[in-house]
Amino acid sequence: MKILLANPRGFCAGVNMAIECLDEAIRRCGPNIFVYHEIVHNKYVVDRFTKQGVTFIDDLSEAPAGSILLYSAHGVSPEIRRQAALRNLMTIDATCPLVTKVHLEAIKFAKEHFNIILIGHEGHDEVIGTMGEAPESITLVESPDDVDKLTFGPNDRLAYLTQTTLSVSEAEAIIGRLRARYPQIKSPPKEDICYATTNRQDAVSLLAPQADVVIVLGSQNSSNSRRLMELGREHAGKAFLIDSVSELPLDDFTGSETILITAGASAPEVVVEETIDFFVTKFAATVESIVVREEHVHFNLPKELRELPVMR
């Protein structure tokens, strides 16, 4: 058996920053910290912090007044920030700067009286946060069919934005339908889909045709990980999205000669290493690491965290 190991894979700069942010907050303030939603959409990461004493919440009322609250990488709406201020919570913003960019674009388009079409998945934390910036101006679409149901006219001021973790081909299909129906629609100054999402999808698209099966390390609620699994199925015919090696359906690897392994942008490298070790031990697999694209992006920790004193 041969393993093709996709590069780039795993943590992106935004996820790295968010996790480093929570690690540093624990170092400076202790583990009695609340995080609004999951810090990133990954079970392994969330479980690690939970074991340290961090509490993940979906309602700000669960955080006692005056406590420390960290916003996840996916961002939050202005209403959440307002509620946090009313509860006198000390907030640390670990929102990915690329998500913040989409929020700022939404604010700008809304101030210029555009009707904003947001391409994304209903209920996703990032989409909820972005729509909260200008709820009266934003309409969510999830598919080309949704575009056909829009009631805007040819003279309406329209602009579109996208969730950062979408499938590139999925977004392009919707954008194409939007432009065909509304030639006047404005695009964001720079593409919203995250560089890391695009790079990981490109790696799978390029390498999966060489594999019998694709393994994506990541959680089921991770949008970018699910897109990798879908691409794996499209190009290799068989793909699995798993949190850890314990979830591997071993019968499905009988007769497989080549396996592509990658990881979503919120999946830690340790789960990749455990999976590789398993195949090397059980199937005497060899590993070929293939670099499709280099990444050198880094985001600094937020200022409010850097200014916190370290616990004595």
Where are the chain's structural domains? 2-11+195-291, 13-96+299-306, 98-181
The answer to whether 2-11+195-291 and 98-181 have equal CATH topology is yes
Q: Which residues of the chain have pLDDT under 70?
A: 312
Whole-angstrom Cα distance, residue 309 to residue 115? 44
Confidence (pLDDT) at 312: 56
Q: In this structure, are residues 308 and 29 in contact, taking their beta carbons and an 8 Å threshold? A: yes
Catalytic residue ranges: 126
Q: How far apart are the first and last CA of the chain?
A: 52
Q: Which CATH architecture has domain 13-96+299-306?
A: 3-Layer(aba) Sandwich (3.40)
Q: Are 164 and 96 in contact (CB under 8 A)?
A: yes
Q: What fold, for 2-11+195-291?
A: Cobalt-precorrin-4 Transmethylase; domain 1 (3.40.1010)
Distance CA 95, CA 93 (A): 6
* CATH architecture label of 98-181: 3-Layer(aba) Sandwich (3.40)
User: Distance between CA atoms of 288 and 23, rounded to whole angstroms?
Assistant: 32
**Which pLDDT score is estimated for 256?**
78
Query: Which ranges in the chain belong to alpha helices (H)?
Result: 13-29, 43-52, 78-86, 97-111, 125-131, 144-148, 168-181, 195-207, 223-236, 269-283, 303-306
φ, ψ of residue 150 to 5 degrees: the values are -65, 150
CA dihedral (270, 275, 276, 280) positive or negative: positive
